[in-house]
Amino acid sequence: MAHHEVLVVGGGNAGISLAARLLRDGARDVAVVESETVHRYRPLLNYVGAGEATMASLERPAASVVPRGCTWVRDRVVAVEPEVPAVRTQGGTRITCTTLVVCPGLEEDWDATPGLSEASAAGWAGSTFTVEGAPRVWPALRDLTGGRVVFTVPPEPAPCSATALKPLFMACDHWRRRGVLEDVDVHLVLPGPSPLGLPGPDRYLEEALTSYGVDVLREGRVTSLRDRRVTVSTPTGSRELDDVTFAHVVPHYRAPSWVARSPLAGATPAGLVDVDPTTLRHRRYPAVWSLGDVADHRTRSSGGALREQVTVLARNIALTRDDAGVSTARLARYDGYTVMPVTVARHRLMLVEVDRDGRPRPSVPFPDLVRPRRATWVADRYALPVTYFRGILRGRV
């Protein structure tokens, strides 16, 4: 059995950037449990699916991003004892800790969409949200001169669900430039009545959808994929889309089973960790904290949201380390800030920043970043990946 002062479960953006920040703030014993040997900057997967990035550009050896001074436990958690706190790993190790941080991300729930696994294996379905599927999207869409294509936005919870609009708009812009857009029958399945549920940003997105001639199925859900047929359930009934050339269907998501079946989970159907959404502390276990996609923080997940959560959580862990009985009133607060970067063309992007209640929360006073711009696209495609690997994962941003 091993013991650590702080044990972080998950070596993605959340786990690595938090571990780096804690070590910079003076934590002496931080361990990260992560079984993957490759670390990925996942936002670039959408650009892989549009032919504007390669898998090599977003991947690094996991060993290269683990912070200096951090213990890397190369294993997978299969059970948790939040009252201790402690975890058990697939390799049979029990690890206890003073502070437990749960951030393993979400898992793809393929069974929630009947036929999606089979359609993906057959090659006529896939998405930029999966590591296996992203490289197949652009070859499937690039040379189309006609046919029917379906895109979906996944329901919450999902890792930055709004970015599922990126491959749709970038593909449509590509087809327009090639002069074949009018011959491609494009459909979009939205989980809600509008793209984001935010009037200002939705105005730009609705204009783009109309401009590209996209048929939008609102408040819809894909209920099955079979024999190149996509069935969509909407409030007005079921709709069959036949002879589908390609279906960019994003899987639904849920918490890992060891989280969903544990006392950590709250009442959400996906089994998210039951935290106070402002302090990120578990509601019943004061030594347990959670951030990222797996935490029920009542806002849309994104990399920008994670940066704010890491800042808040690092401060709160430091406060409770120095004074275990510190009052909740003294803890730092997370207002639910999140950011949704959405391309409306291959080289134009809008940046939507809001708080938990959907109120605008711009990071800069001007210019208006919601208005689609080329400069914002350049920042999203080229500047942010550099900042991620050189700054965020090192606890500097």
Same fold, 2-106+255-337+389-394 and 110-249: yes
* Other CB atoms within 10 A of residue 364 CB: 9
CATH code at 2-106+255-337+389-394: 3.50.50.60
pLDDT score, position 328? 86
Under a CB-based contact definition with an 8 Å cutoff, are residues 183 and 172 in contact? no
Point out the residues of the chain with pLDDT beneath 50. none
Q: What is the pLDDT of residue 324?
A: 73
Which residues are 87's β-sheet partners? Answer: 80, 95
Locate 71 and state its tokens. Answer: 């213990």
- How far is C-alpha 94 from the geometric centre of its chain's CA atoms? 29
Q: What is the CA radius of gyration of the chain?
A: 21
Show me where the domains of the chain are located: 2-106+255-337+389-394, 110-249
Give the H/E segment covering residue 3.
strand 2-9
**287: nearest Cα among 28, 104, 30, 100:** 100
Q: What share of the chain is helix, strand, coil (3-state, %, to 5)?
A: 30, 30, 40
Question: Which residue from 335, 348, 337 is spatially nearest to 304, judged by alpha carbons?
Answer: 337
Sign of CA pseudo-dihedral 224, 229, 234, 239: negative
Strands 221-226 and 229-234: antiparallel
User: What is the CATH superfamily name and number for domain 110-249?
Assistant: FAD/NAD(P)-binding domain (3.50.50.60)
Burial readout 19-28 (b: 16 or more C-beta within 10 A, e: otherwise): bbbbbeeebe
| Residues β-bridged to residue 79 | 88
CB atoms within 10 A of CB 316: 22
Looking up tokens 């949200």, which residue turns up?
129
What was the pLDDT predicted at 365? 84
Asked whether 50 and 166 are in contact (CB, 8 A), the reply is yes
CB crowding 318-329: b at 16 or more within 10 Å, else e: bebbeeeeeeee
Against a cut of 0.95, is the pTM above it?
yes
